[in-house]
Chain A
Amino acid sequence: MNKVLGNKKAIAVYVLPGLILYTCFLIAPVVWSFYYTLYDGSPGIKWNFCGPDNYLRLFSDKNFMKSLLVNCKYILVVMAGQIILGLAMALMFHFWLKRFKSFVRTIVFFPVVLPIVAVAQLFTKIYEIQPHYGLLNSILAGVGLENLVQPWLGQAKTAFGSLCAMDIWTSIGFYAIIFYGALLDVSSDIVEAARIDGARAFQLLRYILLPLIRPIMVVCLVFSFTGTVKMFESALTLTNGGPSGATKSLSLYMYTIAFTYSKVGYASVIALVVFALCVIGSFFIRKLDKDITR
């Protein structure tokens, strides 16, 4: 095997097909996208060379800054929610739940397989206020918290939180199952030894379990980051970026610019920013990974 892999021609033969496909379907569109950034309008309709104008516009575009902020906030909130609650759920499966383990795991994992459009429809009904109260407002009204009944998706101050709650609910099962797998791998001897040494629940988590599942934690961070940085489908289907752009992510803004405003060039600049955001995020996660490996 070493002999084959040491042969440069053999490597070329193995790598080339994949490389060609990767170049055609990934690198070429990125380069093409860069070319688009130098034009104004939409190909085939109004398509004029505009030089660096699209890049300059980025710095004076308040909506872009707002979308960037929304996207960053979303990454932080949803990542934290997915990881922390996913881990909490896994700990519950492993240490607390004695009966119906499989059933509960299935129920928690169930939202992961639902299409996001269906989930958005479900949550639209949950958050509903007119013509009839949805589940959330009904519960609030039922327990005497009438003052908390509000149009959750219709006002800027609550729409973002409502969207994050939906996305965390949808994906929490996925992270719970990964963390649960990691916890199963932790030797029971170590946990028992720690307990004999007098470690309490928090100390056990902080000094024994977390260090042992750190590699899995990094994997989950990567998954969570890549999932949240592209923030699109859920925001589109639940709130369509509104109200007043409170849930408009960079991807959604890019989509509006390209297809509503017919400015593909400027949208391509925003696409490059999303690309840069991915590169920066991946860099930090890789750095964290390296630190752990050391």
Chain B
Amino acid sequence: MLPDHLKEHAAAVAVDAFDADAVKAGKFAHGELTLEIAPAKIASVCGFLKYDQKFVRVSTVTAVDRYPAEPRFELVYHLHSIERNERLRLKCRLPGADAAIDSVTGVWRGANWYEREVFDLFGVRFLNHPDLRRILMPDDWEGHPLRKDYPIMGPRA
């Protein structure tokens, strides 16, 4: 159910009309719209936003670690519609244990490296990703450096 304060935002209304269970919450702050999406719905919502709502670009995919709070991970997607000159932020919350979410590489191929980066640095797995390997850290690295419980000086300190 779409919260009342989001009803003036066309993108929010459209996503809600597409799938009434998709939008869990949302807010509009600093001129930026954020929609919190149910993790199971992310791929279908992204597909809808790209093909129906003209969000042709995924600007970036990243994550925030809320450790020790649960659900621990926030996956953050920044989308861009050139035609509407509009940006949109999607957010999915994932539990800390065995965090996994559907990949959106099927929607935008450009999400590939961004999801690999999140996998590498946060340890969140992406299902149906074509090439889920570490990208910035060495292949045999242990741990995920951007997690909040990973020591800033590295594991040896």
A and B associate: no
Interface residues, chain B, CB within 8 Å of chain A?
Answer: none
